[in-house]
C-alpha cells in the first residue's frame, strides 16, 4: 500500500486573513506526520503527531487557538482511533490542556473506557502529568474578538452554519 | 477543528480529530469531534475518516461512519465523502467537510462549506488546497 497522511484544518467560511496561514499550517502538519511515518512511527503515532502540530498552531480552532465558550472558557473535544484494533479514546469538554489528543490517546491505551468528559478528563490527564495551563496561553486575540463580535449581535447560542461566504463564522467542530 | 487520517505500507489506518468547538457555545456542549462514527472512524478493513463542520449535524448524520460505510460498498473515497456530505445537507441541512484514506492507499477530501484547508503527502508529493476545486501539487 502506498502510505498517505492527510490532514484538515476545519471546514468553515475561513476569512481571507487566515487563508495563507491555514494552508501553511496544514502543509506543515502533513509533512510532520509523514516524517513520523518515515521514521518508523505507527499510524497512531502519525495521527497524534499531525494533530498536535495543528493544535499547537494558533491559526486553528483546537488546542492553542480554540474558540471560547459563552462564559469565556476553553473547552475542547478530541478523539483518536486505531483501525487495526478499532480501539478508540476521546475527551469531551476538557479544559485548558494544550493537546487534548494526547489525553485521548492515553484513555485509549491506559483505560478500558472510550471517553472521559469534563472534570474527570482533566483529573485523568493530571494523573499522567498533563496539567491544566493558564487559559490565557490558549486564547488568541482572534478568539476574543470573535466572541465579542458574537455577543454584540446575539445572545442566542445555536449552531450558525451557513453555506455562503456571508455567514457569520462562529467556529466549527 | 483539525484532523488527520493515515494509512501505512501495511494497510493499517488511524484517525484523530481535535476541536475547540464553536464560538460562544453553551458550557458543557459537546460536538461531534469526540464521538466515534461522527468526528472520526478507523477500521483497517475499510479506511480512516476525520470530519469537520457543524457538530450537531455531523452527530445526527453519523458522518464518519456513513462515509466509511459507503467506502465499504466499493465506492471510491471522494464519492463516499460526497455521498455523506450530501446526505447531511439534504436530511439535516448541515454543512461540513471530511478527509479520508482507504486501507488500499486511496485518499480524498471534500467540503460543502466555503473553504477547508487540507494537505496530504503521498509518493513524494505534497498536495494541498483551501478553496473549492483547488488542488496544488509540489514535489518534495
Residue A150 has pLDDT above 90, yes or no: no
Of B22, B57, B109, the CB nearest to A171: B22
Mean residue pLDDT across chain A: 91
Among chain B residues, CA nearest to A118: B28
Chain A residues touching B6 at Cβ < 8 A: 3-6, 33, 37, 43, 46-47, 50
pLDDT recorded at residue A157:
45
User: Per residue in B31-41, pLDDT tens?
Assistant: 999 999 999 99
Chain B contact for A139, CB < 8 A? no
∠ Cα B92 A157 A141 (to 5°): 115
pLDDT band at A162 (very low <50, low <70, confident <90, very high): very low
Of A2, A11, A29, the CB nearest to B52: A11
Q: Give the whole-angstrom CA distance, residue B94 versus residue A1.
A: 34
- Under 8 Å CB-to-CB from B36, ≥6 apart: which residues? A79, A81, A88, A90, A114, B64, B65
User: Per residue in B28-71, pLDDT tens?
Assistant: 999 999 999 999 999 999 999 999 999 999 999 999 999 999 99
User: And the C-alpha cell for A111?
Assistant: 483505560
Asked whether the beta carbons of A43 and A82 are under 8 A apart, the reply is: yes
> What mean pLDDT comes out for the span B17-23?
95
Residue A155 has pLDDT above 70, yes or no: no
Q: Give the whole-angstrom CA distance, residue A78 versus residue A102.
A: 9
- What are the phi and psi torsion angles at B14 (to 5°)? -155, 160
Amino acid at each position: 500500500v502506498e502510505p498517505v497522511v492527510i490532514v484538515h484544518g476545519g471546514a468553515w467560511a475561513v476569512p481571507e486573513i487566515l487563508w495563507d496561514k491555514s494552508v501553511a499550517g496544514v502543509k506543515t502538519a502533513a509533512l510532520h506526520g509523514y516524517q513520523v511515518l518515515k521514521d518508523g512511527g505507527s499510524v497512531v503515532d502519525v495521527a497524534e503527531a499531525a494533530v498536535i502540530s495543528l493544535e499547537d498552531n494558533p491559526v486553528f480552532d483546537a488546542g492553542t487557538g480554540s474558540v471560547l465558550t459563552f462564559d469565556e472558557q476553553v473547552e475542547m473535544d478530541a478523539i483518536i482511533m486505531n483501525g487495526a484494533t478499532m480501539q478508540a479514546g476521546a475527551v469531551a469538554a476538557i479544559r485548558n490542556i494544550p493537546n487534548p489528543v494526547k489525553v485521548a490517546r492515553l484513555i485509549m491505551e491506559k483505560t478500558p473506557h472510550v471517553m472521559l468528559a469534563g472534570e474527570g478528563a482533566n483529573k485523568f490527564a493530571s494523573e499522567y502529568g498533563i496539567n491544566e495551563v493558564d487559559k490565557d496561553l490558549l486564547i488568541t486575540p482572534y478568539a476574543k474578538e470573535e466572541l465579542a463580535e458574537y455577543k454584540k449581535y446575539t445572545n442566542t447560542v445555536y449552531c450558525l452554519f451557513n453555506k455562503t461566504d456571508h455567514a457569520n463564522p462562529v467556529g466549527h467542530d | 477543528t483539525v484532523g488527520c487520517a493515515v494509512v501505512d505500507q501495511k494497510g493499517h489506518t488511524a484517525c484523530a480529530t481535535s476541536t475547540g468547538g464553536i464560538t460562544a457555545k453553551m458550557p458543557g456542549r459537546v460536538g461531534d469531534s469526540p464521538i466515534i462514527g461522527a468526528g472520526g472512524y478507523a477500521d483497517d478493513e475499510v479506511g480512516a475518516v476525520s470530519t469537520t463542520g457543524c457538530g450537531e449535524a455531523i452527530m445526527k448524520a453519523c458522518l464518519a461512519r456513513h462515509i466509511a460505510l459507503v467506502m465499504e460498498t466499493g465506492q471510491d473515497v471522494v464519492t463516499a465523502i460526497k455521498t455523506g456530505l450530501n446526505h447531511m445537507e439534504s436530511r439535516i441541512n448541515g454543512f461540513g467537510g471530511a478527509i479520508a484514506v482507504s486501507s488500499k492507499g486511496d485518499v480524498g477530501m471534500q467540503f460543502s462549506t466555503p473553504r477547508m484547508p487540507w494537505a496530504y503527502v503521498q509518493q513524494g508529493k505534497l498536495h494541498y488546497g483551501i478553496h473549492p476545486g483547488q488542488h496544488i501539487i509540489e514535489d518534495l
